[in-house]
Amino acid sequence: MAKRIVVVASGRGSNFQAVIESVQRGWIGGTCVALVTDNPRAYAIERAQAAGIPVVIVDYSRFASRELYEQALLAALREVRPDLVVLAGYMRILGSAIVREYAGRMINIHPALLPSFTGLHAQRQALEHGVKLAGCTVHFVDESLDGGPIILQRCVRVMDDDDEDTLAERILIQEHIALPEAIRLFCEDCLSIEGRKVRIR
Ligand code: GRF
The verdict on pTM exceeding 0.95 is yes
Domains of the chain (ranges; CATH) run 3-200 (3.40.50.170)
- Per-residue pLDDT tens for 33-74? 999 999 999 999 999 999 999 999 999 999 999 999 999 999
- Nearest CA to 94 out of 140, 135, 138, 35 is that of 140
Per-residue pLDDT tens over the stretch 167-180: 999 999 999 999 99
CA distance 123 to 195: 28
**Sequence letter at residue 136:** C
Give distance in angstroms: CA of 147 to centre of ligand 1.
17
Distance CA 11, CA 120 (A): 14
Active site residues: 110
Name residues contacting ligand 1 (CB within 6 A): 9, 11-16, 88-89, 109-111, 172, 175
Closest alpha carbon to 184 in 30, 28, 6, 16: 28
Q: Contact 134/171 with Cβ under 8 angstroms? A: yes
Q: Assess whether pLDDT exceeds 90 at residue 1.
A: no
CA distance 102 to 155: 28
- C-alpha distances (whole Å) from 107 to each of 53, 157, 179 are 20, 25, 9
